[in-house]
Amino acid sequence: MRARPLLTGLLVPVLLVAAWQAAASAGLASPQALPSPLDVLLRWWEYLAPPEAFDPAQSSRLGWIFSGELVGDALASLYRVLLGFAIGTGLALPLGLLMGASDRAHRLLNPLFQVLRPIPPIAYIPLAILWFGLGNPPAVFLIVIGAFFPVLINTITGVRHLDAVYLRAARNLGAGRVTIFTRVMLPGATPYILAGARIGIGTAFIVVIVSEMIAVNGGLGYRILEAREYTWTDKVIAGMFTIGLIGLAIDTVMSRISRYLLRWHQELER
């Protein structure tokens, strides 16, 4: 039974790829503007495998598939995403809990964050380059901004929308502030926090691609821009599909982590 949802989900992509291949074979589009799926697949394989992979004399060497250009670019992008996401979440989570639990902190800090929140991380690119130069620091800085606000806003919302019945019950049972915060507020806000984290890491992955096109000499974004300059359209599309697959993998992992951590919440809703 599990195979049926998977097959259903693959139906539309397979039809689109078939239509794309038919259009390319019929010559409806220039191969330079829109290469066929087969050409993209071949370029993706060349991008994945290093040159020695195609040498029969070297084909028996273990681990060759992990030394290709694509793998190096993907790992570089993932490193920046995970580092920036960890820093952004590490800053947003305690601040969001504080602003959610304290009306005074919320009144003091909320106006500032409401002004900064609508500014897209891409707008910080000139400042990031001026402050940090080129390389990983400006890219990580932009990713921190991209991940910070979704986690912050969701954490604040989760704490402030906690049902007051739980707070009154905890106080009536003699729970102190620390106990109420750790045993009532934090668990109650966890679904919101995890939703914010899921949005934040998705935003971080978008930001890293853009930052790599501008401030970094490496990664998937840089490689796509390089391919565009040489009009390697097949490599551009191969890089785009790689981003999509990695993004899907990250979102799947985040979804499973959320489901695991919220087992108690799902039991309450039954």
- Average pLDDT on 64-89 reads 82
- Average pLDDT on 214-235 reads 85
- Average pLDDT on 230-245 reads 86
In this structure, of 20-34, 56-70, 204-218, 251-265, the range with the lowest mean pLDDT score is: 56-70
Output the pLDDT for position 61.
44
CATH number at residue 255: 1.10.3720.10
Answer whether 213's CB lies under 8 Å from 221's CB: yes
Q: Tokens for 92?
A: 């947003």
Is residue 252 in a domain?
yes
pLDDT of residue 84 exceeding 90: yes
| Stronger pLDDT, 217 or 5, i.e. the higher one | 217
CA angle 96-97-101, nearest 5°? 115
Is residue 215 in a domain?
yes
Output the pLDDT for position 66.
47
- Average pLDDT on 60-77 reads 66
pLDDT of residue 166 exceeding 80: no
- Average pLDDT on 160-184 reads 76
d(CA 123, CA 142): 9
pLDDT of residue 86 exceeding 90: yes
Is residue 113 in a domain?
yes
Is residue 18 in a domain?
no
Could you list the residue range(s) of the whole structural domain that residue 235 is in?
72-269
What is the DSSP secondary structure assignment for residue 51, as one 8-state letter? G
Is residue 64 in a domain?
no
- Average pLDDT on 146-150 reads 92
If one counts every other C-beta atom within 10 angstroms of the C-beta of residue 125, the result is 20
d(CA 150, CA 195): 9
CA angle 139-141-144, nearest 5°? 110
Is residue 169 in a domain?
yes
How distant, in Å, are the alpha carbons of 111, 161, 195 from that of 185?
Answer: 23, 10, 16
Overall number of domains in the chain = 1
Is residue 190 in a domain?
yes
Output the pLDDT for position 51.
54
Phi and psi, residue 161, nearest 5°: -100, 15
Is residue 204 in a domain?
yes
Tokens 């993907």, residue located: 74
pLDDT of residue 108 exceeding 80: yes
pLDDT tens for each residue of 190-212: 888 888 988 998 888 888 888 88
pLDDT tens for each residue of 31-54: 777 788 888 888 888 777 755 554
Q: Tokens for 38?
A: 């087969």
Residue 90 pLDDT grade (very low, low, confident, very high; cuts 50, 70, 90): very high
Q: Tokens for 96?
A: 């969001």
Of the chain, the percentage scoring pLDDT greater than 70 comes to 87
Output the pLDDT for position 63.
44
Output the pLDDT for position 143.
93
d(CA 226, CA 224): 5
